[in-house]
Amino acid sequence: MPGTVIVGAQWGDEGKGKIVDLLAQNSDIVCRYQGGPNAGHTIVVGSETYKIRALPSGIVRGKPCVIGNGCVVDPEVLIAELDEFEIRGCSTEQVYVSGNAHLIMPWHLAIDQASERRLGKLAIGTTKRGIGPCYADKAMRLGIRVQDILDPKILRQKIEVALAEKNLWLTRVYESEPFDLEAVAAQYEGYAQRLRPYVADTSLYVETALRDGKDVLFEGAQATLLDLDHGTYPFVTSSNPVAAQAAVGLGIGPQRIDRVLGVSKAYVTRVGEGPFPSEIEGDEQARMRELGGEYGTVTGRERRCGWLDLVALRYAVRVNGIDELALTKLDVLSHFTELPVCVRYRTPDGRETPDFPAHQSDFHAAAPVFETLSGWNEPLDACSSVDDLPAAARDYVDFVERELGVGVSLVGTGAERTSVLSR
């Protein structure tokens, strides 16, 4: 399949990086189409652990990697990552960054932090990487794009125009320190010198590759329920992780997407604020967090943990057009005797629905209706395919398939690159 989207089907951290890493073996190019350094993908190869924030996960396999126009780029983070991969012996020669992607500027970080502070109890719980303010400036047409680094004069001028407004905001609205034009211009000119060779017409590059029959992976960051349009607004990120965005965020036609692979944990986690119907109550949640190592890659924050939510997953199948699923971290469930799975929501009027509520108040008030499946209480290390799984684990996977009407083609059973079982 030439064009494959890999999309998070929950609230992020589903283990997309590992699935991309696996599929990248047989792919020619790996592309990111949205998000920025709010993402954190972890890939474990033997004794080496790679934590990636800006680059597509395909970099670990030495594949050509594209950062599409739909992404936002923090040059400091990207440069640090490029340097690190070079030091570790992975070439970055085939990294291509769209000139139309937007640059995260220092005021985006400052505003993200100040606005979360101001919101107090109503805070979104962002990663504070400047993502929201950067996308807001893109929509306001006040953004600075990657292609602006190609010309020092243009870059300085754009910084000057943006700062004239941003410094007013920072000082008068947020009572924060203003930024100095010369200092920012010099800092970004330094970044520009390092990044210029990577700037490319990525739309042309990806479209040409697809036309030539190459296999291209479109790697989503964040996930469906964090989508600006389809997620649990306002507790979302400021871009569109859903599969269709792969076309817009890379500058290719929608018919170039041949397959959509959703990635879901065998349970659910969420960082940041917002409603979470299947959240586990009591000590079991802390147990799940420890067993699953559920702490944020980027921020180190504790992730909230819940039982698998098939109502939310059914919704993800719908809004992404998911063709097949990868179910990750099934091994974490090996430690539980009983496995509740949320199959419907009960709304305050007593109705039960298998469908994700369209209205925020219904979602906020939704109570989970669980069906309890049996655990298997044995490690999955020795399994080499889905058919090898203990009977109860296979039943768990079959149950998910039946409820969603979508096949589970991959099952994750550990942190290692090799711990992904296929059918």
CB of 152 within 8 A of CB of 189?
Answer: yes
Give the total residue count for the chain.
423
Map the footprint of ligand IMP across residues 107-136, applying CB under 6 A. Answer: 124-127, 129, 131-132
Which residue out of 13, 74, 215, 323 is catalytically annotated?
A: 13
Q: Which is nearer to ligand IMP, 254 or 275 (CB)?
A: 275
Which residue out of 21, 41, 137, 148 is catalytically annotated?
A: 41
Q: In the numeric block, which tokens belong to residue 158?
A: 């754009």
Tracing tokens 């809004």 back to the chain, one arrives at 319
Residues 6 or more apart in contact with residue 213 via CB below 8 angstroms: 2
Q: Which is nearer to ligand IMP, 215 or 219 (CB)?
A: 219
Q: Which is nearer to ligand IMP, 235 or 307 (CB)?
A: 235
**Shortest approach of ligand IMP to residue 220 CB, angstroms?**
10
Site for ligand IMP (CB under 6 A): how many residues?
20
Q: Which is nearer to ligand IMP, 149 or 236 (CB)?
A: 236
**Binding residue (CB under 6 A) for ligand IMP from 3, 12, 251, 292:** 12
Q: Is 258 a catalytic residue?
A: no
**Binding residue (CB under 6 A) for ligand IMP from 27, 34, 38, 98:** 38
Binding segment for ligand IMP (CB under 6 A), chosen from 32-40, 212-220, 257-265, 414-422, is 32-40
**Shortest approach of ligand IMP to residue 236 CB, angstroms?**
6
Tracing tokens 């992607």 back to the chain, one arrives at 101
Map the footprint of ligand IMP across residues 218-247, applying CB under 6 A. Answer: 221-222, 226, 235, 237-238
* Euclidean distance between the first and the last CA atom of the chain, given in angstroms as a whole number: 17
Q: Which is nearer to ligand IMP, 64 or 412 (CB)?
A: 412
**Shortest approach of ligand IMP to residue 282 CB, angstroms?**
23
Phi, psi of 104 (to 5 degrees): -80, 125
Q: Which is nearer to ligand IMP, 305 or 397 (CB)?
A: 305
Residue nearest ligand IMP, CB atom distance: 272
**Shortest approach of ligand IMP to residue 111 CB, angstroms?**
11
Strands 65-67 and 29-32, by their bridges, are: parallel
Contact status: 39 vs ligand IMP (CB under 6 A): yes
Cα Dmax for the chain: 66
Binding mask 263-292 for ligand IMP (x = CB under 6 A): --------xx--------------------
Q: Give the per-residue SS3 of the chain.
A: CCEEEEEECCCCCCCHHHHHHHHHCCCCEEEECCECCCCCEEEEECCEEEEECCCCHHHHHCCCEEECCCEEECHHHHHHHHHHHHHCCCCCCCEEEECCCEECCHHHHHHHHHHHHHHHHHCCCCCCCCHHHHHHHHHHCCCCEHHHHHCHHHHHHHHHHHHHHHHHHHHHHCCCCCCCHHHHHHHHHHHHHHHHHHEECHHHHHHHHHHCCCCEEEECCCCHHHCCCCCCCCCCCCCCCCCCHHHHCCCCCHHHCCEEEEEEECCEEECCCCCCCCECCCHHHHHHHHHHCCECCCCCCECEEECCEHHHHHHHHHHHCCCEEEEECHHHHHHCCEEEEEEEEECCCCCEECCCCCCHHHHHHCEEEEEEEECCCCCCCCCCCHHHCCHHHHHHHHHHHHHHCCEEEEEECCCECCCEEEC
Map the footprint of ligand IMP across residues 40-69, applying CB under 6 A. Answer: 40
Binding mask 70-99 for ligand IMP (x = CB under 6 A): ------------------------------
Q: Which is nearer to ligand IMP, 124 or 411 (CB)?
A: 124
**Shortest approach of ligand IMP to residue 266 CB, angstroms?**
17
CA 321 to chain centre: 17
Q: Which is nearer to ligand IMP, 125 or 375 (CB)?
A: 125
**Shortest approach of ligand IMP to residue 127 CB, angstroms?**
3
Q: Is 398 a catalytic residue?
A: no
**Shortest approach of ligand IMP to residue 62 CB, angstroms?**
24
Binding segment for ligand IMP (CB under 6 A), chosen from 38-46, 157-165, 211-219, 345-353, is 38-46
**Shortest approach of ligand IMP to residue 71 CB, angstroms?**
12
Catalytic residue annotation: 13, 41
Interface with ligand IMP by CB under 6 A: which residues?
12-13, 38-40, 124-127, 129, 131-132, 221-222, 226, 235, 237-238, 271-272
